[in-house]
A = this chain, B = another copy of it.
Amino acid sequence: MLNTILEHRSIRKYKDKPVEDKILNQILEAGFRASTTGNMQVYSIIVTKDKKRKEKLCELYFNQEMVKEAPVLLTFCADFNRFNKWCRQRNAEPCYDNALSFFTGAIDALLVAQNVAIAAESFGLGICYLGTTIYQADKLIDFFNCPKGVVPITTLVVGYPDENPDLVDRLPYDGIIHKEVYKDYTSEKINNIYKEKESLPETKEIIKENKLDNLAQVFTQKRYTKKDNIYFSKIFLKSIESQGFMNNEE
């Protein structure tokens, strides 16, 4: 069981083979067992299998081929719509139109997503997260017809792997773990933490391809730039607001 977690690789090439409904349902049910705040389960999962809709989603996800090639996409949403409707039908006035409620739903959605990811891998399926779901929240809200109270948070690509990539590097233990209090990093410590990552052949290749001096510059100048971050911050915040989660005053 621990092995499934330890052997996780993101899969970006999938076989042209559907995921059996029986397996898909077991994976989703495994998601439902995740802890959620107050057992409110304020999330929903949208399943995409339709070829045409996957093609459209592929465009929205900046043309990552796997989005249309994989048999299944699972979009995990913070969802207070269902809960609010239930409250109103029970003569209980819901008060879940604020930032705290949004975060509560987002946390639910993410813990469920990771359960689903591990369950999928335990069946020999491959998965890849799309970190760009929050970048395209406004367009995805339209695409999925999400009512107020629903915001897409993350997406899992799921299918049978058609590649077998190596395990990817991770920062060392003492780069991540703090004992009792957060111990801020000295410049020497930073050098140690990133040393292995920086010395990898694939890192050197990426730096060369991008004609930059080092890996950090690849992140700041190519992958996650100020311009993009500000642009997509605005979109995501606006989506949270438009979906009715920013009424933070009495």
Contacts and interface: CB of A to CB of B under 8 A. Distances in A.
Interface of A: 1-8, 10, 25-26, 28-30, 32-35, 37-41, 43-50, 53, 77, 81-83, 85-87, 89-96, 98-101, 103-104, 106-107, 110-111, 113-115, 117-119, 122-123, 128-129, 131, 134-135, 144-147, 150, 153-154, 168-171, 173, 175-182, 184-185, 187, 190-191, 193-194, 213-217, 219-221, 223-227, 229-230, 232-234, 236-237, 248-250
Contacts of A35: 8, 10, 117, 128-129
Q: How many copies does the complex hold?
A: 2
Contact of A219 (B40, B100, B224): B40
Contacts of A81: 184-185
A37 to B, nearest CB: 4
B100 A135 contact: yes
B182 A46 contact: yes
Contacts of A89: 187, 190-191, 216
A182 B134 CA distance: 17
Contact of A176 (B45, B49, B107): B45
Contacts of A93: 220, 226
Contacts of A106: 103, 106
A90 B25 contact: no
B229 A100 contact: yes
Contact of A216 (B92, B182, B190, B234): B92
A169 B39 contact: yes
A221 B246 CA distance: 20
Contact of A38 (B131, B145, B179): B131
B28 A8 contact: no
A1 B171 CA distance: 26
Contacts of A176: 28, 32, 41, 43-45
Contact of A114 (B87, B115, B190, B250): B115
